[in-house]
Amino acid sequence: MKQTLESVTATQQLAAQLAPLLQPGDVLLLTGELGAGKTTFTQGLAHALGIKRYVKSPTFTLIREYQEGRLPLYHMDVYRLENGGGDDLGLEEYFDGDGVSVVEWPQFVADLWPANYLSFDFSRTGDQQRQVQITAQGQRGTALLQALAEVMNGK
Ligand SMILES: Nc1ncnc2c1ncn2[C@@H]1O[C@H](COP(=O)(O)OP(=O)(O)OP(=O)(O)O)[C@@H](O)[C@H]1O
């Protein structure tokens, strides 16, 4: 599914539409070049989950946990693992945990991807405009995408 995001607000609104559909153990993989909107999307998601703390990309810490919302949010940015090293992070425990995992630069830990996920691939199509291609993997991923599509289409 492809969606045009005309502004920062539109990107955050997409995340806000997804947030109520999320369950413990859901995994979101966010790809796209630097500045494509991955962190902006995650900030929208955190806000919609009821997280008030400021969410910034955990490039140096790799993982940040936010426990104060409707569900725990595990925000991972594995950009620094371009040359490997992801095996020791315990990502599987987060993916199977009680919260929602959001992974930026997941291509650097491709061998650790779970069986079910939603993938958001952002690209810059203008100063304020982004495009996102959303795909699903696994039974839960597919169901989640279906539910998101229904909300986006106003059903
Ligand atoms: N439609 C849009 N959606 C998202 N961000 C937008 C949009 N239009 C403009 N922007 C701007 O683009 C930038 C996106 O930065 P952001 O940190 O979210 O990207 P990123 O993909 O996480 O990059 P990085 O990999 O460097 O962390 C922000 O400065 C934001 O204000």
Q: What is the pLDDT of residues 30-86, one digit of tens each?
A: 999 999 999 999 999 999 999 999 998 887 789 999 999 999 999 999 998 877 777
Report the percent of the chain where pLDDT is more than 70: 99
What are the structural domain ranges in the chain?
A: 2-152
Structure ipTM over 0.95, yes or no: yes
The answer for residues whose C-beta is within 8 angstroms of residue 147's C-beta and 6 or more apart is 21
CATH 1.10.10.10 corresponds to the domain 2-152:
no
Angle at 107 (CA atoms; ends 45, 114), nearest 5 degrees: 70
Which helix (DSSP H) or strand (DSSP E) does residue 103 occupy? Answer: strand 100-104
Q: Which tokens sit at 24?
A: 């413990």
Q: How far away, in angstroms, is 122 Cα from ligand 1 center?
A: 9
Using DSSP, state whether 100 is helix, strand or coil: strand
Q: How far away, in angstroms, is 2 Cα from ligand 1 center?
A: 18
